[in-house]
Amino acid sequence: MKDYIRMTKPKIVLLNILTASTAHLMAGWTPASLLHLAVAGYLSVGGASAVNHYVDRDVDAKMMRTAKRPIPSGRVKPIHGLVFGCALLSMSAVYSAVFLNYPTTTFVLLGAFIYILVYTLWLKRRSIWNIVIGGAAGSCSPLAGWAASGGEITIVPMLLALIVFLWTPGHFWALAIRAAKDYQAAGIPMLPVTHGLKFSASAVLVSNVAAVISSIVIAAYVPAPVVYLAVTLPASAWLLYESIRTVHLSSIAHAWRVFKASSPWLAIVFAALILAS
């Protein structure tokens, strides 16, 4: 059971649930709708992650970072992982359609579609733009959260989705800098493999600057912008400081610091939006 839970990538699931829940809380919610959104989100993101484990089992086996995952290590049979992931995705579609609404179901399934078909199957092994375009999968979570409230998609949920979209490349390129040898051995054209550390560090900085700017813009749309900025600006300064240091020093160690800082930054931004709303 532990291996199957691991295949759902719980940390990624929780971050997606946070972004979806933030949008839902901002748009209008009830305790029941928030619970249903969290369940649908776990089933969808967890199911897509499990299918990703199945599809990437060959390249995972070639990388030290992922070789001990349940399928490449032999603890879970590939077909069992695939069935598990597809079952979760099917349940997410039915659950969100029954307990939420069809627009939410659409965004839930769109996120899974982008992650599995666009990112994992199409772009990951073919293009340096893999994580940029594939990052749109995470943007579907706040859109699903907003749709679960029954409202129209306005500028606010679009900005929430934009924050996630702009954050994603910097987060994963920072990880890829540290794991460049792994990606090269697996034949995956991540940016540090194709363009080197210095260029990739600069790309991480550009991505993080864009994400921070988008997180500042949304302050104009929250009821308590001063509270929001008081919480988020120190975190943003920390993220940008580490990103600049990575460019200046061309340091793998500092790239890892950026990676470790980026998820907390996103969580702080969305938690602050809840606080300021």
Q: For 113-145, write each residue's pLDDT tens digit.
A: 999 999 999 999 999 999 999 999 999 999 999
User: For position 243, what pLDDT does the model report?
Assistant: 98
Taken in order of first residue, the domains within the chain and their CATH numbers are 1-150 (1.10.357.140), 154-277 (1.20.120)
Residue listed under structure tokens 């991480």: 204
- For 44, the enclosing helix (H) or strand (E) is helix 31-55
Is the pTM of the predicted complex or chain greater than 0.95?
A: yes
Q: Do 191 and 200 contact (CB within 8 A), yes or no?
A: yes
Instruction: Give the pLDDT band (50/70/90) at residue 255.
Output: very high
Residue listed under structure tokens 């078909």: 117
- Backbone angle region of 74, left / alpha / beta, with phi > 0 → left and psi within -120 to 50 → alpha: left
Tell me the average pLDDT across 63-71.
95
Tell me the average pLDDT across 48-61.
97
User: For position 175, what pLDDT does the model report?
Assistant: 97
- What are the C-alpha distances in Å from 72 to residues 78, 81, 229? 8, 11, 44
DSSP state of 199: H
pLDDT at 151 over 90: no
Instruction: Give the pLDDT band (50/70/90) at residue 35.
Output: very high
Instruction: Give the pLDDT band (50/70/90) at residue 249.
Output: very high
